[in-house]
Amino acid sequence: MSFAVRIFSVSVLWGILLLAVGFSQPARDQKSSDSTTLSLTRLTRQSGYIFTGTVTGVEPVAPQSSSDVASVRVTFSVEHAVRGVLAGQKLVMREWAGAWDSGGSFRPGERVLIFLYPPSRLGLTSTVGGTLGRFPVDQDGKVLVQRGPSSRGRVRVSERDFARDIQRAAEE
């Protein structure tokens, strides 16, 4: 692929990703701190773990003490590691049951590219930006990115290109 074509495709991908997470301009140009929108740069900066993986288990966890909270244990098989994990690793996350009940649920067998917060002192984590930090991955290994906030169409992006753009976002 020629340099000019690669630059064009990366620029198009950045535009799609920024639209997908609610921006029409780069994060550095945003003056507000609207918590309902996140750029790829902010998703990346706030993440402790970024990876593509398959959900291998989902299990409710009852509180063990009065200082504990109800949670859901989700186990992932990491396929493509970007930050905080290794390919082939089994990652177990614990998410507060309240977040789970408000739309954060995972299904065994589901493949996702996900941005997770670093665990809290209670060992809990969740997807950065709610659904904004979670991208489905199809059977061909393509990340499905929403074309824009009001569009129903999706663009299929290779995991490698998406990971490369995440690395660039981390450098900003």
The secondary element (H helix, E strand) that includes residue 116 is: strand 111-116
Share of the chain above pLDDT 90, in %: 41
The residue with greater pLDDT, 111 or 154, is 111
**What three-state secondary structure class fits 67?**
coil
Instruction: Answer for the pair 93, 144: CB distance below 8 angstroms, yes or no.
Output: no
> Computed from CA positions of residues 72, 158, 47, 20, in that sequence, does the dihedral angle turn out positive or negative?
negative
User: What is the C-alpha separation between 115 and 14, in angstroms, rounded?
Assistant: 17
Residues 6+ apart with CB under 8 A from 7: none
pLDDT digits 0-9 by tens, 103-151:
668 999 999 999 999 999 888 999 998 888 999 999 999 999 876 665 5
Q: Count CB atoms within 10 A of the CB of residue 53.
A: 24
Q: Count CB atoms within 10 A of the CB of residue 99.
A: 17
Q: What pTM, to 2 d.p., does this model score?
A: 0.74
**Token pair 């290109």 is at which residue?**
161
First to last CA, the chain: 25
The residue with greater pLDDT, 168 or 102, is 168
Q: Could you tell me the CA-to-CA distances from 119 to 75, 90, 139 in Å, in that order?
A: 14, 16, 29
Order of strands, edge to edge, in the sheet holding 111-116? 90-96, 71-83, 49-61, 111-116, 134-136
Share of the chain above pLDDT 70, in %: 72
pLDDT of residue 100 exceeding 90, the answer is no
pLDDT digits 0-9 by tens, 66-93:
888 889 999 999 999 999 999 999 999 9
Residue 26: the pLDDT is 34
pLDDT of residue 2 exceeding 80, the answer is no
